[in-house]
Amino acid sequence: MDRVVPLIGGGAVLSTNVSDERLNRALTAFLRQELQAPASAVTDFLDIIIENANRIPLDQLLPDLERMRTASVRLNAFVTDLVRDTWSIRLREEPSEEFYRRLRHDLRTPLNAIKGYSELLIEDMAGSGDGNLQNDLKKLKESADQLLGQIDSMVALTLQEDAAHGDGRQRQIGIVADVLRTVQPLDTSDAPRESVHASRILIVDDNAANRDVLARRLTREGHQVMTVTNGPAALEIVAAQQFDLILLDLIMPGMNGFEVLRRLKAAEHTRDVPVIVISALDELDSVVHCIEAGAEDYLSKPFNPILLRARISVCLEKKWLRDREKQFIASLEQEKRRSETLLLNILPQSIVNRMRDGETIIADHVAEATILFCDLVGFTTLSQSFSAEQTIDFLNKIFSTFDLLASEFGVEKIKTIGDSYMAAAGIPERQIDHASRIAALSLRMMQALRTIGESTGLPLQARIGIHTGPVVAGVIGTHKFVYDIWGDTVNTASRMESHSLPGRIQVSATTQAMLHGNFIFEPRGSMQIKGKGMMETFFLTNGAV
């Protein structure tokens, strides 16, 4: 139901639909915001100015600055008393005329002293060249002026001024009441609540009663709770088990809570576990050091169970969101690695790097490379007796073996065309021994094919052709792009393969000349090469001498 709340010092009333008790507390907070915070800011600002004056130094200013600070301390003391006692909200009392006179005197006297000394110091410093300090003093004076304005707007200074200020006070109570209507009162019942995210919580406290109370409350809310009595036991159990939250006492014998917190945050596996410190030690230094060391929150004993429940819920919600984020990032990393692997199966690493660096056209002229073509002899006829799955499986077994060998010799697989295999050395990175790499690879490919044939009982044979010369290499396509090579060298290598014999490796005279002395050859004869006339060719018969 609506509550009719009389305004301070006036006969008007305002229907707030908020209980007197909540409105009283909220009005006290409003006064604290409007008066106490600005008054504290004046003192803080003076501390900064005094510190700067000592550093410059400007000793002649210090006496007046200290007087201003004394006045600001007196102002803060009065405002604190005013908020806590004088207006601790006496909604049904009419302030007397004497109350307003005292209010005027106690508030204005220290503020006027601060303003007066500020004006004197600003005049004394005119032309001194220290513009920063002058600006700080001007800002301090402006802050004092603003605080005076806030006081005049919030407090009727005389009973005769009530009518003029009544609307303002109604507005203030209206603002506060509107906030209270939005923020519903807490349910202070002690009924068990099921946690949104049931979690594993560790309680570290040397006091048995504290452990028992906390454990009971959290267990009733659906959490799995474990308790330990000291720091070493806590570190031992978190090394063996995972927890979503740790409630940590600060004052414990042996290893104190701050040391436990420091070690938890230094260890990789517990660094991200939220820790709420609950301690009877409520000094600011302890709070700040714990937060800086990584504590998620800090509560003083005796704690409010409703506040503790809220802070635990927030910590667990953030932990749950962080865990989801980690899982999502891990999933992205896994997909990235999978994509990277697929991409490297299509393109060489150096080409991938160039494309990532923004190159849109990959086209290189390579002065010298060695090209290999390998064709499985009679495989078309052989595959007619296979099912589609058997054909693919058999080709995959052969070409996967070739891929491993190519990787072993540092040779770039270019592509497969039906039952043909194409590889090159000297691209995309320059290799001085490109011909030797291809020659050694071709011998191993023939050996591998014989081994597969013996294990399957199939008559497997291949023709291989090799040639060395200049090529153009690059990436074509934008969707299903491929890294490929072009030029007469490629065509000649292809002819070397097509005119070779089953089970033989035919190389051009160019390649043979580069390998002479390291491999064994037998002359094959001459072959007509389009645009080049007759070219002598050789069979590569054995490995390195």
HEC string for 405-473 = HHHHCCCEEEEEECCEEEEEECCCCCCCCHHHHHHHHHHHHHHHHHHHHHHHCCCCCEEEEEEEEEEEE
Instruction: Based on the fold, state whether residues 110 and 220 are members of the same structural domain.
Output: no
Residues 160, 17: one domain? yes
Same domain, yes or no, for 212 and 175? no
Say if residue 235 is in the same domain as residue 127. Answer: no
Task: Tell me whether residue 289 is in a domain.
Answer: yes
d(CA 307, CA 305): 5
β-pair partners for 434:
none
Distance CA 462, CA 445 (A): 9
Q: How many residues does the chain have?
A: 545
Q: Which domain holds residue 514?
A: 349-542
Under 8 Å CB-to-CB from 489, ≥6 apart: which residues? 369, 371, 467, 468, 469, 470, 471
Number of independent structural domains in the chain: 3
Indicate whether 170 and 226 sit together in one domain.
no
Q: Can you give the pLDDT at residue 91?
A: 41
Residue 152 and residue 218 in one domain: no
Q: Are 537 and 509 in contact (CB under 8 A)?
A: yes
Q: How far apart are CA 364 and CA 428, in angstroms?
A: 8
One domain for residues 9 and 89: yes
**Based on the domain organization, do 420 and 534 belong to the same domain?**
yes
Considering the entire predicted model, what is its pTM?
0.48
Write the DSSP string, 122-186: HHHTTTSS-HHHHHHHHHHHHHHHHHHHHHHHHS-SSGGGHHHHHHHHHHHHHHHHHHHHHSPPP
Asked, for residue 333, whether it belongs to a domain, the answer is: no
- Residues 214, 172: one domain? no
Give, in order, the Cα–Cα distances in Å from 457 to each of 84, 172, 450, 453.
Answer: 99, 97, 10, 6
* 461 belongs to a structural domain: yes
User: Does residue 412 sit in helix, strand or coil?
Assistant: strand
Ramachandran assignment for 343, one of left (phi > 0), alpha (psi -120 to 50 degrees), beta (any other):
alpha
Rg (CA), the chain: 43
CB 95 within 8 A of CB 8: yes
pLDDT at 233: 93
Q: CA-CA distance, 122 to 141, in Å (whole number)?
A: 10
Q: Give the closest residue to 308 by CA, choosing from 193, 478, 473.
A: 193
- Quick count: other Cβ atoms within 10 Å of Cβ 74? 16
Residue 366 domain flag: yes
Q: Is residue 377 part of a domain?
A: yes
Q: How far apart are CA 377 and CA 470, in angstroms?
A: 28
In a domain? residue 195: no
CA of residue 364 relative to chain centroid, distance: 40
Of 147, 182, 217, the position where a domain reaches its end is 182
* Shared-domain flag, residues 28 and 161: yes
416 and 469, same domain (yes or no): yes
* 374 and 478 fall within a common domain: yes
Judge contact between 264 and 246, C-beta under 8 A: yes
Return per-residue pLDDT of the chain as tens, 545 residues.
334 343 334 433 444 455 666 656 665 666 666 677 677 778 887 888 888 888 777 778 888 888 888 888 888 887 777 666 554 444 445 555 666 666 667 777 888 888 888 888 888 777 666 667 778 888 888 878 877 777 666 554 333 444 444 555 555 556 555 655 555 555 555 555 555 567 899 999 988 888 888 888 888 888 999 999 999 999 999 999 999 999 999 888 889 999 999 999 999 888 889 999 988 887 888 889 899 999 988 888 877 788 888 888 888 888 888 888 888 888 888 888 887 777 777 777 777 787 777 777 777 899 999 999 999 998 888 778 888 888 888 889 999 999 999 999 999 999 988 889 999 999 888 999 999 999 999 999 999 999 998 888 888 889 999 999 999 988 877 676 788 899 999 999 999 999 999 999 999 999 999 997 789 998 988 877 776 678 889 999 886 54
367 touches 430 (CB < 8 A): no
Q: What angle do CA 345, 346, 352 make, to 5 degrees?
A: 100
Return the H-helix or E-strand segment holding 413.
strand 412-417
93 by Cβ neighbours in 10 Å (0-12 / 13-18 / 19+) ranks as exposed
CB 505 within 8 A of CB 526: no
**437 touches 483 (CB < 8 A):** no
Closest by CA to 281, choosing from 296, 301, 295, is 301
Last residue of a domain, one of 149, 182, 215: 182
Q: Is residue 295 part of a domain?
A: yes
Asked if 316 and 244 count as a contact pair (C-beta separation under 8 A), the reply is yes
- Distance between the two ends of the chain, CA-based, in angstroms? 106
pLDDT at 544: 53
- Write out the DSSP string of 221-280: TT-EEEEESSHHHHHHHHHHS--SEEEEES--SSS-HHHHHHHHHHSTTTTTS-EEEEES
d(CA 269, CA 242): 9
CATH number of the domain bearing residue 433: 3.30.70.1230
370 φ/ψ angles, rounded to the nearest 5 degrees: -115, 130
**Is 291 among the domain residues?**
yes
* Integer Cα distance of 524 and 47 in angstroms: 98
